[in-house]
Amino acid sequence: MNENDAKKPISQMQICHPRINLLMEELIQEIRVNKEIRDKLFQVEFQVSRKGDALISLIYHRHLSSKWIETASILSKKIDCSLVGRSRKQKLVVGKDYVSETYVVSEEDYQLRLFEQCFSQPNPYICDAILEWIFNEIYKSKDVLELHCGIGTFTIPLSNSFDKVLATDNSRNCIKGLKENLRINSSSNVSIARLSGDETLSALSGDRMFYRLRNLDLKSFSLDTVFVDPPRAGLGIYTLEKIKNFSQIIYVSCGFNSLKNDIEHLSSTHKVMCAGLFDQFPFTDHIESTIILNKR
């Protein structure tokens, strides 16, 4: 922005769900007149499902008292939205701490609760397309390992295509959310462990033992497919070397440059069978990429 250019107030964020735009306006009006909501509020997060189920997280630089709950309860009814108040070592919930979303794959519905503070796919319409594409392109083997599983957006559909799923993530909140989503969808063939990707692969190769795996027999799995949906930075060298042992790699990427580097690293043992590009955030330069690699 040039300092001398005319300034124009921004009142809408067009790429967001219409409900988010409405809630932003309603919340701003409330913040202006309500000291309890406004006092030391420094961050606001909005989450809305495609059907309009809504959650607002309000993050503060102060301890929240019972007065905040009373005020937030009135506001929640007024704007028909769940509210979560967070500050250091404190979380207060008015309503629910999640929104409910339905994903559709091959005409089958999957119900998921998208929990606050857990990563979830921000565009459910594109997520449907990604899921449909993946399950049309992969070959179905016995068991699948999923790293960075989150709350189960991919885990639960995977459980209908493979005999067993071993799903791991190092986030306590995500693992808790995953357990709830498995229960909702009656998915009984998924085993869970709270481990990072590197820890999971280290345990599978027998390099290291973890107390968190004490009730899980890793030798009972026939894992020849691995599903990875890593952070924007991509996969680390250790993970890349270890997943070379899998016959099929399903790679979902939100970082195109890191994906390119990782594919180059895997090219000595695997070849790209197919690739899908998805417009996750319209009107931006972001591309969500999905690659299927098979062992040479």
Query: Using CA atoms, how far apart are residues 188 and 192, in angstroms rounded to an integer?
Result: 11
Q: Which CATH number fits domain 118-295: 3.30.200.20, 3.40.50.150, 3.40.190.290, 3.40.50.300?
A: 3.40.50.150
Tokens of 199: 């820890």
Catalytic residues: 254, 288
SS3 248: strand
Let me know how long the chain is.
296
Average pLDDT over all residues of the chain: 94
Nearest to 45 by CA among 117, 96, 101, 113: 117
Distance CA(189)–CA(161), nearest Å, equals 11
Given a contact cutoff of 8 angstroms between Cβ atoms, the answer to whether 109 and 42 are in contact is no
Q: Which of 134, 101, 135, 107 is nearest to 120 (CA)?
A: 101
Quote the CA–CA distance of 169 and 158 in Å, as a whole number: 16
Q: Is the dihedral of CA 269, 147, 101, 181 positive or negative?
A: positive
CATH second-level architecture of 18-96? Beta Barrel (2.40)
User: Whose structure tokens read 């997060």?
Assistant: 45
pLDDT in tens, 156-183: 999 999 999 999 999 999 999 999 999 9
- In 3D space, the residue among 127, 133, 129 whose CA is nearest the CA of residue 152 turns out to be 127
pLDDT digits (tens, 9 = 90+) for 218-276: 999 999 999 999 888 889 899 999 999 999 999 999 888 999 999 999 999 999 999 99
**Domain coordinates of the chain in residue numbers?**
18-96, 118-295
Mean pLDDT by 10 residues, the chain (296 residues): 76 87 95 96 96 96 97 98 97 97 94 94 93 92 94 95 96 97 97 95 92 91 94 90 96 91 95 95 88 95
3 C-beta neighbours (distance < 10 Å), count: 5
